[in-house]
Chain A
Amino acid sequence: MNIFESITSAAYSVFANRMRSILTMLGIIIGIAAVIMITSIGQGFQNSFNEMFAEFGAGTLEVAVRHDRPEPAARSDMLTLESVEFLSSHPDVVSVTPISGSNARVQLRNPTENTRVNVIGTNETFREVQNVDVRFGRFLAEIDVDRAAPVAVIDSSLARQVFGRTDVVGETIRATFWFGTIDLLVVGVYRSDDIMSGMFEMPTTAYIPITLLQRLLNADNQVQQIFVNAHDLERLDQTASEIARLLSIFHRNEDRYRVTTLMSQIDQINSMIGMITGFVGLVAFISLVVGGIGVMNIMLVTVTERTREIGIRKSLGATDGNIQFQFLIEAMILTATGGVIGIILGYYGGFALGGLIDLVPAIDVPTVIGTVIASSLIGIIFGVYPARKAAKLDPIEALRYE
């Protein structure tokens, strides 16, 4: 008996029990569709995340003082504007951006109310590190930093809270830090495109000159972090270790600085998304296994129902192998057909779900091939037991079965 005949004959018998076959396949269909949908949404999320960072941050290095050394960091180890100046002279470097953070409360229209604002002290090159979508006025300029001018670039939503409108360049906001209050001239208004701040009530961010923040914090020359943009993306890792080495020489210490690429942080986030996708995918896979058990259950019923047929076939010379193969192929047709339908549903389901959360799902060929193999394997795994049971039937008993 050749394989092609086995398949057509098995397909025939699956088709003869249409309703039952469809219900049996449903478990597989749902399982496969769920796996495809979840992985495509996860992959789509990863893609859009990577796109967001592709423009900014690809060549960015983050410099920070290491605090995991046995001896605590000395005052002389701290990063300063001199360190920034020193790194700027390096030939591989495009820009050097110092960043320090603090927070303040900003007085609202009603003088008795205020709101919390993250304050970032930085310089004019910050926009090399992160996109700031300035809608009105301008971003911080070199002159602001040089003079430690009391100016700020604020979020449009803060502008709306304080002034009831967004075109507020030239207005003044009153910010209260833990050490005192200062009036800041608004020189720019930007629109944050951060998905997170839209979803959660998060404080907005205001940018002020780093020199002003240092003066306010009484922090001498210190900066908390430095971002370095490098020329050569290919040599990013070498540049990173070189910067760490040069800074140690500059500050006369040893191995005190950690220089990481933003890429490596993006990779971390990516692997986190991957883990979440994998976990949810695993849950979906479990439902696939449950579907497989459904197939096994129905195949056992089928074997019992067709006991007499098995007896007849055996009396005509079917070997145990012939019988086993026949039922195995039937189980595989059920799961493979279910798999194909599941892939199609999962594909369109992914787009439907992606449309709801404004995301383009990404379906990769290996996932599809993998799920096809998985659904066929499930057919084999859960089909073997009923098929073996059928093959082992005693022909005399089977012929007597009513």
Chain B
Amino acid sequence: MIIQIDNLFKVYRNGSLEVTALRDVSFSVAVSEFVSIMGQSGSGKSTLMNILGCLDTLSAGKYHLDGEDVSKIKGKKLSIIRNRKIGFVFQAYNLLPRLNALQNVELPMIYAGASAKKRRNAALEALDRVGLTERVHHKPSELSGGQKQRVAIARALVNEPAILLADEPTGNLDSRSGEEIMGIFQRLNREGVTIVMVTHEPDIAEHTKRIVAFKDGRIVTDELVLNPIQVG
């Protein structure tokens, strides 16, 4: 299993007010799965993504990522896990505006301590994998939404993480660009990349192989998609 979650609780304390965002969630993702997590806002899906991405800590339960128990890990070690094991794709792309596409993709490798030459080669390869061979020296402001998201996916892939976490990756895109991005995810998945994606659009979720639905901090359904919509 890439992801193994057992009896996960997440409680936020705001003064005297306690909010339980996730209650007793158990859930696992195997190698080469392509999972969408669905739910309305406040269902706990974003909290789960933050925990899966090692950006947030859990209140109770166990989380094993790629065989390693990361439930109690904090600080610098957690940063290293984020760097090596996780690739993030955000709704708003989250590229650094002052860096060009290539430099943005190189960023995770800089923190991994790779040499300049190795970084450049890996970044060009990752950009190639998402179908972006031109405009790699352009700044994000000079790229279209779909191109920006491709750069973001390349950046998520560059350190060859155990899992790709995508948070509403098509949310800011028109339907055609959204389709393109889903096509890239499907191709990467066929190449063996494990992907967990949050979305609230059923059409988009139908492109994945499995849909996990959340409501009020609990899993309500966890079903395989019989005939995923194939792009291309």
Contact = CB atoms under 8 A, between A and B. Distances in A.
Contacts of A313: 96, 107, 111
Interface in B106-162: 107-108, 110-113, 155, 159
A77 interface: no
A319 interface: yes
A317 B55 contact: no
B90 A317 contact: no
Contact of B94 (A13, A308, A317): A308
Nearest to B82: A317
Contacts of B155: 316
A399 interface: yes
A317 B75 CA distance: 11
A314 B107 CA distance: 11
Contact of B108 (A309, A316, A399): A316
Given A319-B76, A396-B56, A12 B83 contact: no
Contacts of B79: 314, 317-320, 322
B90 A399 contact: yes
Contacts of B110: 1, 5
Interface string A300-325: 00000000110111111111111000
A315 B94 CA distance: 10
A365 interface: no
Contacts of A395: 55
B72 interface: no
A2 B115 CA distance: 9
Given A1-B110, A322-B111, A316 B83 contact: yes
Given A1-B111, A322-B111, A317 B80 contact: yes
A196 interface: no
Contacts of A19: none
Interface in A368-402: 395-396, 399
A307 B101 CA distance: 21
Given A1-B110, A309-B96, A316-B82, A321 B76 contact: yes
Interface in A310-357: 311-322
A161 B228 CA distance: 115
A317 B106 CA distance: 12
Contacts of A5: 110
Contacts of A315: 53, 55, 82, 88, 94
B98 A320 contact: no
A35 B83 CA distance: 46
B98 A316 contact: no
Contacts of B82: 314-317
Interface string B192-231: 0000000000000000000000000000000000000000
Nearest to B46: A396
Nearest to B47: A396
A16 interface: yes
A137 B113 CA distance: 86
A309 B107 CA distance: 12
Nearest to B115: A2
Given A1-B110, A309-B96, A395-B55, A316 B88 contact: yes
Nearest to B97: A309
Nearest to A323: B79
B75 A320 contact: yes
Nearest to A322: B111
A290 to B, nearest CB: 30
B175 interface: no
A390 to B, nearest CB: 14
Nearest to B87: A316
A395 B79 CA distance: 11
B178 to A, nearest CB: 21
B50 A396 contact: yes
A314 B108 CA distance: 10
> Quick one: which of A309, A311, A315 has the most chain B CB within 10 A?
A315
Nearest to A402: B92
B96 A312 contact: yes
B23 interface: no
Interface string B48-85: 00100101100000000000000000011001101110
B179 to A, nearest CB: 26
21 contacts: A5-B110, A312-B94, A312-B95, A312-B96, A313-B96, A313-B107, A314-B55, A315-B53, A315-B82, A315-B94, A316-B83, A317-B82, A317-B83, A317-B108, A318-B79, A318-B83, A319-B76, A322-B111, A395-B55, A396-B50, A399-B55
Interface of A: 1-2, 5, 12-13, 16, 308-309, 311-322, 395-396, 399
Given A1-B111, A316-B88, A319-B111, 15 more contacts: A1-B113, A311-B94, A312-B96, A316-B83, A316-B111, A317-B83, A317-B84, A317-B108, A317-B111, A318-B79, A319-B75, A319-B76, A319-B79, A322-B79, A322-B111
Counting from the closest, the 10 A-B pairs by CB-CB distance are A317-B83, A319-B79, A317-B111, A316-B108, A317-B82, A312-B94, A319-B76, A395-B55, A1-B110, A318-B111
